[in-house]
Amino acid sequence: MADIRIENLRKEFGSFVAVQDSCFTVNDGEFLALLGPSGCGKTTTLRMIAGLELPSSGKIYLDGEDVTFNRASARDIAFVFQLFALYPHMNVRRNIGFPLLSQGMAKAEIRQRVEETARLLQIDHILNRSVSGLAGGDRQRVALGRAIVRRPKCFLMDEPLGTLDAEFREIMVHELRELHNRIHATTVYVTHDQHEAMAMADKIAVMNHGVIEQFGTPQEIYAKPATMYVADFIGSPPMNFMRFTSGLKSGDKSILLDGADVAVPEIREDMAESELALGVRPEHIRFSDASRLRGAVYGSEYLGTNQVVAVETPGGLIKARVPANRSFRIGETVGLEFNPEKLALFDCMSGRAVASSLYQETRHG
């Protein structure tokens, strides 16, 4: 297996910049998810790593070797597409073994490798079945088998679960992670689905308009979003933002928000003139009669173990994830209290985080 290093990778289509100077490293055996909405440059990044698209500038290193201008076939990378075409006239065994046959490998070795791969994917009982009659999940396993059997240096996957229905998708998310835990193959996985990325990846690169907004572990990205875009894209419901024109000076610990004194993360420099946004995730809000930050219940969504209650405040709609054991009337007045240790502060102009309670914990801790 291998590590993948990307340096200032850029792709232009005419005057349009699809990927803007990306830099990241996927360590040996790591699972990286490229996450972002449609059109943000995920597939283009993946295709450049695979050698299917030539970068406009920048470098790609595979296991320390500069492969930027190597052909796809010379990169020892396996690519699993969303609509992976299996050969319908071949059975499962021949579909999985086909890449090895094309390499001219001896039949006995192919047989051994195919059976080993099928056991790994738990499809050894269907090796002699025709692929045309297989269910979606098994077809994906065969497709994965065809990629794994070559034992490539790394795997690139482009929304491989995209065509599966929700139930199968969940099973395959679990299976893919299990598989990764067993074979530790360096993997780059493209998805627009935050749940897939959070559940499977060791690291996530969140992309927006060709730019990597944040690169980090799922925990870092969720708890310490680097930008408002990331805070909004990750989390369901996303982070709440309360905008205010700052009178904040370095060392200030609270602001007056809608007439209530609300704690804020400590900033490092004066931001007196800036427009800022206080960010709080729904699960870090609780209802308290004592709070002077008040609003009217706008609606609620019952989720079994908890509920998401939307509250109309003078500063906008705020969603709180609270225990499900209390019911709320539409229009009912509630007081909102934020966990002061779980807040983030963003500069609205740049969208970047200027402070977060969690950053401070790390700094002081």
**Closest approach of ligand ATP to the CB of residue 120, in Å:** 29
**Closest approach of ligand ATP to the CB of residue 8, in Å:** 17
**H or E element, residue 300:** strand 294-302
Stretch that binds ligand ATP, among 31-39, 138-146, 337-345, 346-354 (CB under 6 A): 31-39
Cα dist. 63→3, 67, 154, 156, 187 in Å? 5, 9, 10, 15, 13
Determine which residue in the list 2, 6, 42, 55 makes contact with ligand ATP, applying CB under 6 A: 42
**Closest approach of ligand ATP to the CB of residue 42, in Å:** 4
Site for ligand ATP in 176-215 (CB under 6 A): 192
Size of the site for ligand ATP (CB under 6 A): 11
Tokens of 87: 């050969």
Stretch that binds ligand ATP, among 33-41, 80-88, 142-150, 327-335 (CB under 6 A): 33-41
Cβ of 318: how many Cβ atoms within 10 Å?
22
- The owner of tokens 């692929």 is 131
CA 171, CA 76: separation in Å to the nearest integer? 28
39 binds ligand ATP (CB under 6 A): yes
Tokens of 266: 């400590």
Which stretches of the chain are DSSP H helices?
A: 42-50, 92-102, 107-120, 136-148, 166-183, 194-200, 218-223, 228-233, 357-364
Determine which residue in the list 44, 117, 307, 357 makes contact with ligand ATP, applying CB under 6 A: 44
Which residue number has the CB closest to ligand ATP?
43
Angle between helices 136-148 and 92-102 (to 10 degrees): 20
33 binds ligand ATP (CB under 6 A): no
**Closest approach of ligand ATP to the CB of residue 24, in Å:** 16
Determine which residue in the list 38, 73, 128, 181 makes contact with ligand ATP, applying CB under 6 A: 38
Contacts with ligand ATP by CB under 6 A lie at 13, 18, 36, 38-44, 192
